[in-house]
Amino acid sequence: MGIEITLMNQSYDSNYTVVIVLSNTRTAWKVLSSPAYSHTFRLPAESDGFFAGVVNSIETGTELSENQLSQLSFVATENSKKADLIMTGGGVRAPYRFTLLPK
């Protein structure tokens, strides 16, 4: 069944591309782009977490370089069934940050 996650953009950046990478791979599993301020997706059930970050010029299925992977943050799913992934920061003010809030 998996976990239903809604990405909520509360960052300073309205023009972004968020990449989601499952914890056991280097491949862009899901790519979410602006202008929407929220995106809902279902993470596979076997995933104990995932990596999230802002990466430019990437498509679903693309293998990330070491440099790109180093810019991502690990997000633990904590056995949740449904959660909001809050994206904050961005721009010159602060780095992007991703916080999972179980519902």
Which pLDDT score, from 0 to 100, does residue 34 have? 72
Which pLDDT score, from 0 to 100, does residue 36 have? 64
**pTM for the complete prediction?**
0.90
Which pLDDT score, from 0 to 100, does residue 95 have? 87
Domains contained in the chain, CATH given = 3-102 (2.60.40)
Taking the chain (103 residues) in runs of 10, the rounded mean pLDDT of each run is: 90 83 94 80 90 91 95 90 92 85 93
Give the whole-angstrom CA distance, residue 36 versus residue 51.
20
Rg of the chain (C-alpha set): 13
- Report the DSSP beta bridge partners of residue 63: 27
Which pLDDT score, from 0 to 100, does residue 35 have? 57
Residue type, position 62, single letter = T
